[in-house]
Amino acid sequence: MNDLRDVRCLAAAGVDYESARAWQYATAAAVRAARDGGSAEAVAMIEHAPVYTMGARGGRATLRMPQEALPAPLVDTDRGGDITWHGPGQLVVYPILDLRRRGMGAAEYIGALEGMLLDTLGAFGIAGELVEGRRGVWIGNEKIAAMGIRVQGGVSMHGIALNVAPDLAWFDAIVPCGIEDGGVTSMARAGVRDVAFEDVRAAMRAAFARRFQAMLVDVSPAEARAALGAGSGQPGNREAVHA
């Protein structure tokens, strides 16, 4: 694809997971409906309110405590992968893209997401790594960015989560991504402690635009918060892939 395509970009903090999931499904339906003309593609770059999410391949064996004792709600999802945590200090990106119209298969899409993450980390001097047989981006044996997607009717949903500077203690309650012999880390733990969250989001925007040949069109903060079910914080065929 040579031409840039408009993609609406939403940014918000304190986003309720269920509301964001409803937005994804509504947006994906709009993208499929727009195939005969125009484009309704969008990407959300957000921080969630604290929540644990379980992927389609997950199970309660990856909890390290009873579900009722978890410090945040647990939500079952239809994305690929196992269990993870989302919350403050973590940048979550949900691209709702027409992969069929773009001529992208699942493998090419995953590669673009991985490249986007590597580009973003590289902008801050962090050399992320891809590990054969494991999704996401790693630093040594610790995962800094997780991935869990779903492709339905040729349109992507769910996405990636980059640990910028979250409290990593949230992960103590689970086996992150179901990987017993791997840990989690963050940009802050990797030595990037003074960067603003908005600077990381800006780097992610640039990497997204480059990797997906997109012209990002900003949605107003008020509209984004309303669409995504955000709090008052400012950011501003079927296939699944495991996290």
What is the set of active-site residues?
Answer: 177
CATH of 5-241, one of 3.30.70.270, 3.40.50.10190, 1.20.1250.20, 3.30.930.10: 3.30.930.10
Beta strands in the chain (DSSP E): 5-15, 42-48, 51-54, 74-76, 83-86, 90-96, 129-131, 134-139, 142-152, 155-163, 183-184, 214-218, 238-241
What's the burial of 51, exposed, middle or buried (CB within 10 Å: 0-12/13-18/19+)?
Answer: buried
List the chain domain ranges. 5-241
pTM of the model: 0.91
CA distance 29 to 81: 23
* pLDDT for position 236: 37
Average pLDDT, rounded, for the chain = 89
pLDDT interval class at 81 (50, 70, 90): confident
* pLDDT for position 179: 67
Average pLDDT over residues 91-119: 96
pLDDT (tens digit per residue) in 16-75: 999 999 999 999 999 999 887 667 999 999 999 999 998 877 677 788 889 899 999 998
222: nearest Cα among 18, 11, 42: 11
